[in-house]
Amino acid sequence: MLTAAAPPAAAAGLTQVTGFGSNPGNLAMYEYAPAGLAAGAPLVIAMHGCVQSASDYHSHSGWAQFADSYGFAVVYPQTNSTNNSLSCFRWFDPAQSTRGKGEALSVKQMIDKAVAQYGSDTSRIFITGLSAGGGQAANLLADYPDVFAGGSIASGLPAQCATAQAAASGCQNSSQGLTPAQWGAKVRNSYPGYSGPYPRVAIWQGSADTTVKPVNGTELRDQWTDVWGLSQTASSTRSLTGGTTLSSYDDAGGRPAVELYSISGMAHGLAVDPGSGTGQCGSTGSYYLDTICSTYYTAAFWGLDGPGDGDGGAALPAPAGLTVSGTTGSTASLSWSAVTGAASYGVYRGGTRVGSTTGTSYTDTGLAGGTSYSYTVAAVDSAGASGTASGPVTATTTGSVPKCYTTDNYHQVAAGRAHQSGGYTYANGSEQNMGLYNLFVTHTLKETSAGSYVIADTGC
């Protein structure tokens, strides 16, 4: 789905691995791990886009930087022009994209090889991909929900969107007109009879993407919220750097299960943010676009920087008594009870770590006025291991209440709060699918920032 561009020279520390299995998908396996990686570390699978390579993705995406910082291994599957003339992963071919077959099985064999090599924690295996790699990553999340704890799809496609190459362009360019339940069924049918938990999924989509149209981000959201049994109305929204709007869809425990990152004005590619500041990563290049470090936020969403789901053992207990001690128009102050053995505490807003402190209070800053935020806190021991996260609390900043507008889809478009494509209506900024473009479907839209709206039918 990308057009030709020469990849850079091989990146430092990237190693090819052979003999990882029968390899029915005819893929190559490359890997990177920091020196002295301890057993029990997480494992990330990172899949490149068309006309790219493992080396290209390793060099630009920032995954090596966070592998070093947080301590995990990365496997980069690589396809070739023999498989596909543009070196695209074949996300549109059931012989390559279904459980136990083709490329899907080759990637599973790479995972088994890496787990044996590194002693990886099999409860913390994650997958991410760009463009065609994102489409195949979505398929693998559906094929192997028993393998992956989480995924991230950048400028990609919903799982099993196309089942023939002739249908691929239709998925890329237009809505498929499916309900969330129909999208969810494609995931459930990828592994019939599976009754375990599904992976947590982050979705990254540029609003100016003409290669994989923004509707794919909406349909990915519809698919994975349905799989989780969640509403397609966001639990919370907030603005991030690079013109990014984050819409979170929380599970019953208040933890984000699906996140949609909509990047205003970004074309087709992976979002990076070169620099040495906190939360910056990557380098620019063809289809590596300077907006926001998607890798940083994805790693935080997966919990690679802090507490995961928790697997018992000697982990510190959750802090008790988390309360909101005060708010202003741009801050929220929290306090909690001390945990014996804690050297510090990590503070999480909407599932993303926003700070740490050695005390039992913290003030989060730079917030939007009149907005609700969900917080949890986890204790950290002297070795840097995070314990179980607390239950969530909600802090609502003071100030102006967000503006809300209720009318039919036709008049939402006419007022400049939404736009229509292919007969459907999409909220500006969040790109949420509002249904048919007509006078009969009515929604409430909440303005989250200038020119950006989310559906707020359940309350504003």
Residues identified as active-site:
131
Integer Cα distance of 152 and 148 in angstroms: 11
Between the alpha carbon of residue 423 and those of residues 52, 217, 401, 437, the distances in Å are 34, 17, 32, 5
303 SS3 class:
coil
- Three-state secondary structure call for residue 159: coil
Could you say which DSSP state residue 52 is in?
-
Nearest-CA neighbor of 431 among 184, 245, 255, 303?
245
- Say how many Å lie between the first and final Cα of the chain, rounded: 39
Tokens at 286, concatenated: 């063809």
Q: Cα-flanking dihedrals φ and ψ of residue 394, to 5°? A: -115, 130
> How are beta strands 256-263 and 150-154 bridged, if at all?
unpaired
Q: What whole-number distance in Å separates Cα of residue 223 and Cα of residue 229?
A: 10
Q: Which one-letter DSSP state was computed for residue 308?
A: -
Give dist(CA 281, CA 157) in Å, integer: 24
- From the number of C-beta atoms within 10 Å of its C-beta (0-12, 13-18, 19+), residue 348 rates as buried
